[in-house]
Amino acid sequence: MLFLTTAGIFGAGPLRHADLLAAEAALPYGWLGVLAAMHFGLWFYLGIEGTTQAAEEVRSPARALPFGTLAGVMTLAIAATLTWYVCAGLMPWEYLGQSGVPLFDAARLSGSPALMVFLGIGTLFATLASANGCINDASRAWFAMGRDRYLPGWFGAVHPKYRTPYRSIIFLVPIALIFALGAPLDQVVTFSILSGLLEYTFMPLNIILFRRKWPLDTIKRGYEHPFHPLPAIVLLGLCGLAFFAVFLGYGTQLVAMITFYIVVSLWFHFWRYRFVNRGAQFTMPWPKPRGY
């Protein structure tokens, strides 16, 4: 609605890209500024990958997960492009970079009271949807770790009627509210990104090690990437760039997050791992990994 109203498709529109993106405003911080903003791109994917967390709660994971993931990618690509196009044509970059609700601010500058009310309601629903998605993703992760005893087993309970991990959900709701109401949005996003970035950094290393321990001729695979290990190496390089991007703008948060995970890892290694059911980690009928 915002795009159709402001783009000038049905008449003259208020977008002023030529004026607002002229000269230094096109890249106010140069390509270093582009790099410094790179890690916010990961925030988009964090919402999409959350579909896999609900794999046990759908009828057909093989059908639902690819459909949900690809539909999310397409929706995000279209919506994000429209958002950037409209907002960059209505707001100067100095204001746009500080805006926490860019779509609503763009509607205010469009000159249409009805559009402003419509986008205000839309912003409210979008905020609730984002918070719900964060709680949904995190609760399923806590549920899985509780079930495998990586966290206390109390978190691994399933509601007898609704078949959802209700204890993990209830536990994480007040934590989400504290972050939502008491912390700046960009810092909350950065902390979430850093957790995902750490996961993405371990992922290519694990993929390379997995292929070495179980080569192609040792186990049956559902899919074999023809260019292995190139995708893993590219991902590792992108993660390195993203860490540098976070350091440029949020160095304190980067150090705090790394310190937090080091402390948690030490707690897990020296205390929590004794409660993990180690035999349950190796139940698949696979041969021993190469080298063991």
> Residue 228: enclosing H or E segment and its boundaries?
none
**pLDDT (0 to 100) of residue 109:** 86
One-letter amino acid for residue 33 of the chain: G
Q: What angle do CA 257, 258, 261 make, to 5 degrees?
A: 85
**154 — pLDDT class (breaks 50, 70, 90):** very high
| pTM (predicted TM-score) | 0.79
Q: What is the arithmetic mean of pLDDT over 164-173?
A: 92
Q: What share of the chain is helix, strand, coil (3-state, %, to 5)?
A: 75, 0, 25
Cα gap 99→93, rounded to integer Å: 10
Select the more confidently predicted residue: 230 or 151: 230
CA dist., res. 104 & res. 118, Å (int): 9
* pLDDT above 70: residue 281: no
- What's the gap between Cα 278 and its chain centre? 30
Quote the CA–CA distance of 271 and 36 in Å, as a whole number.
Answer: 38
* pLDDT for the residue numbered 239: 93
In whole angstroms, give the CA distance from residue 222 to residue 209.
Answer: 18
In the structure, how many helices (H) and strands (E) does the chain have? Answer: 11, 0
Amino acid at 36: A
Q: Side chain identity at 259, as an amino acid letter?
A: T
**CA–CA separation, 218 and 213 (whole Å):** 9
| Residues 209/229, Cβ–Cβ less than 8 Å | no
Region 197-226 average pLDDT: 90
Q: What is the C-alpha R_g of the chain?
A: 23
> What mean pLDDT is predicted for residues 105-131?
86
pLDDT attached to residue 240: 94
Q: How many residues appear in the chain? A: 292
What tokens were used for 55?
């794999």
pLDDT averaged over the chain? 87
